[in-house]
Structure formats: structure tokens, C-alpha cells
A and B are shown apart, each in its own frame.
Chain A
Amino acid sequence: EDQVTQSPEALRLQEGESSSLNCSYTVSGLRGLFWYRQDPGKGPEFLFTLYSAGEEKEKERLKATLTKKESFLHITAPKPEDSATYLCAVQSGGGADGLTFGKGTHLIIQP
């Protein structure tokens, strides 16, 4: 069974204070690892897809990296508008197309 564990559960940073969110996974053949952002009362918003170890993707202040066991979402010089819950999900090669999600990291950026 695919499993995704995200840490920390919650993180409070000062504006401009860089940090990283962790996503550890076990999966029977990784087809893709996905990062989403979710704001209160909204659906997850797609950020990145990573397919193989060593791959990196960047978008504004966010950078996602992937190893064989985990992924990191690095946030550089965050702003208050980056406050959200960040979700990690995997899609396995076992034939299932549904995503397996972690419980998310609730990120708060204080001005």
C-alpha cells in the first residue's frame, strides 16, 4: 500500500525566513510525485510534478526536489501570501491512477 508522510504538520515562519517541507513516501513504482497548495475552503491547486530522483522544479519562491525516498519543497524568502497548506501526493505504477495524499503541512508566514 502506498504511503505518504509529511513533516512538519505545521510551520510558522517570519516573512523572509526560508525553510523546507518534507514528504517521505513508499510506493510500488513511482509514476509521479505531485505538490499542491490548498487554501482554506478551496480545492488543491497544482504546483509541481516530479518523475524521477534528482529532478528539480521551480516556480517563484518555491523549489521542489525528489530523491528515491522523499521530496522537499523549499520556500525561499516567503511572503504572507505563501501561507497555505501544502500537500504532497504520489501516483504509483501499480495500475492505480488515484493519488495517495499526505496530511499536509500547514504553513503560516507572519509579516
Chain B
Amino acid sequence: NAGVMQNPRHLVRRRGQEARLRCSPMKGHSHVYWYRQLPEEGLKFMVYLQKENIIDESGMPKERFSAEFPKEGPSILRIQQVVRGDSAAYFCASSQGDVNQPQHFGDGTRLSIL
């Protein structure tokens, strides 16, 4: 009964490169959420997706960030032209999507920008 799987666990990029973070939801879950945790700050919601659809991207920065959840394969959070301020832990969560079902989290990807 695998939980939410995120990879890579650690990712190092130089300024200006692209970062791709992957998330496979729990079996039976069709709803995926991405959060960012900056040092000394709480988890901040970024985007909510269902298969092939972005439902809510109100927490996503307007530029350089994008997310997808294709029909087949994991959800991807993509950050283009990374800057030092993008260094953070990025967490993915999934749920069954029914009303008030809890979100279950993966162990995150720690992104470091050199």
C-alpha cells in the first residue's frame, strides 16, 4: 500500500536551469496538490490538479512555474530559469477527492539552487 511517492528527494540546480519535480499519488487517489515550504515558514499551497486538469492555481507564482497531471504518469511541477529564492522543500499531497477527505503527503523534494 504505497504512499505518495516523490522524486527526486534532493535536487541541485544552478541559477537559470530548469527543475522538474515528480509526484505519484497514492493508489486510488485522483487529486494532487503541490505545496512549498520555505525555511522558517509554513507550508504554502501552490496548485491543485486532477487528471489532465488544473483546478486551482491561485498559489502558483505567475511566472516560471507550471504544473501538469497527465492521463498517464506522475504529476510534474516544473520551474524554469530557477533563482536562489526557489530553494525550498516542495511537497506533493493526494486525496480521493471526496468532500473532506484528508490529503496525504509525500516526503518532499529538497531543491537547492547554487
Contacts and interface: CB of A to CB of B under 8 A. Distances in A.
Bound together: yes
10 contacts: A31-B99, A43-B4, A46-B102, A46-B103, A87-B43, A98-B47, A98-B48, A101-B42, A103-B40, A103-B42
Contacts of B99: 31
Contacts of B59: 98
B56 interface: yes
Contacts, number: 65
For the residues of B in contact with A, the DSSP-based class is strand
Q: How many residues of B sit at the interface, in one of the four size bands?
A: 20 to 34
B104 interface: yes
B56 A43 contact: no
B28 to A, nearest CB: 15
Given A43-B107, A46-B104, A49-B102, A99 B4 contact: no
Interface in B56-114: 56, 58-59, 91, 93, 99-100, 102-108
A45 to B, nearest CB: 7
Contacts of A97: 31, 33, 48, 55-56
B42 A31 contact: no
Given A97-B48, A99-B103, 9 more contacts: A31-B99, A32-B100, A42-B108, A43-B91, A45-B105, A46-B104, A96-B58, A97-B33, A103-B41
B45 A49 contact: no
B100 A31 contact: yes
